[in-house]
Amino acid sequence: MSLIKICGLTRPADAAHAEQSGADYVGAILAGGPRLLSTDQARAVLGRPRHGVRRVAVFGEQSAEEVIRIAQELALDVVQLHGQRTADEVAHIAAVSGSVVWPVLRIAGTELPPEAEVLAAVQRTLVLDAHVVGQLGGTGVALNWNGLAESVRRLRARVPGLMLVLAGGLRAENVGEAMRLLSPAVVDVSSGVENAPGVKDPARVQQFVRAVLDAAEKAR
């Protein structure tokens, strides 16, 4: 069973609907792009810490100290780190912020780069997203799940207990195939449940959640 993250939220009502629909994670973007929020806006969208849903903020090129400051200010459950991050930086942010840290690798082909194992080993978590020049996420571009399957299998063998978070081009129509091929712990959707950047479609959110549940049921 993959957990569900609805990301790129810009409106409190959309975040509340995602939570009510069964999302396990709700995410706000602090990294740039059309879904960019200020810290105050992210606070309004994500709300307070609570049981039943975990709150994620996505960072880009901010310094480690700025990430830590914002993570503590928002009492984030999860910090998602794009950009050129080292394993030491990931470990430092996790230790000081008090949040779980998800490092992100953006992939263009069918092989994971050498740094995948080093980054994944820090907190036994790794986000895979599609590499699109000039954009950090929310592109609607899917990874080559079938091509990556063997490389992901090898990574899991080297990092036991790996929590794989899969992003990039997911939607209700294809998430089942992605789950079958890569068995992610979390499926991360943004543009695939939108009417416009940052504006979630309640029906698409519900369809995505149902597709994940249906795929998990078929896999049993």
Residue 102, φ and ψ in degrees, nearest 5 = -110, 105
- The tens digit of pLDDT for each residue in 9-20 reads 999 999 999 999
Q: What is the pTM of this model?
A: 0.94
Confidence (pLDDT) at 108? 87
- The tens digit of pLDDT for each residue in 26-82 reads 999 999 899 999 999 999 999 999 999 999 999 999 999 999 999 999 999 999 999
Compute the distance between CA of residue 145 and CA of residue 189 in angstroms, rounded to an integer.
15
Compute the distance between CA of residue 16 and CA of residue 6 in angstroms, rounded to an integer.
11
Do 207 and 174 form a contact (C-beta atoms < 8 A)?
A: no
Specify the pairing of strand 194-196 against strand 199-200.
Answer: antiparallel
User: Beta-strand (E) ranges in 23-124?
Assistant: 25-29, 54-59, 78-81, 100-107
Q: Which residue has the tokens 């399957």?
A: 149
Mean pLDDT value across the chain: 94
Picking from 126, 83, 118, the residue whose alpha carbon sits closest to that of residue 101 is 126
Range of the domain at 192: 3-219
Please tell me the number of Cα atoms within 13 Å of 129 on its side-chain side.
26
* Cβ neighbours, 10 Å, residue 72: 13
Rg (C-alpha) for the chain, rounded Å, is 16
DSSP code of residue 143: P
- The tens digit of pLDDT for each residue in 112-129 reads 998 999 999 999 999 999
| 108 membership: H or E segment, kind and range | none
- The total of structural domains in the chain comes to 1
CA dist list (Å): 176 to 31, 172, 216 = 28, 8, 8
Please give the full DSSP string across 83-96, using - where no structure is assigned: SS--HHHHHHHHHH
Compute the distance between CA of residue 166 and CA of residue 178 in angstroms, rounded to an integer.
8
At what angle are helices 12-21 and 39-46 packed, to 10 degrees? 40
CATH number, residue 86: 3.20.20.70
Task: Find the angle CA(120)-CA(213)-CA(195) to the nearest 5 degrees.
Answer: 85
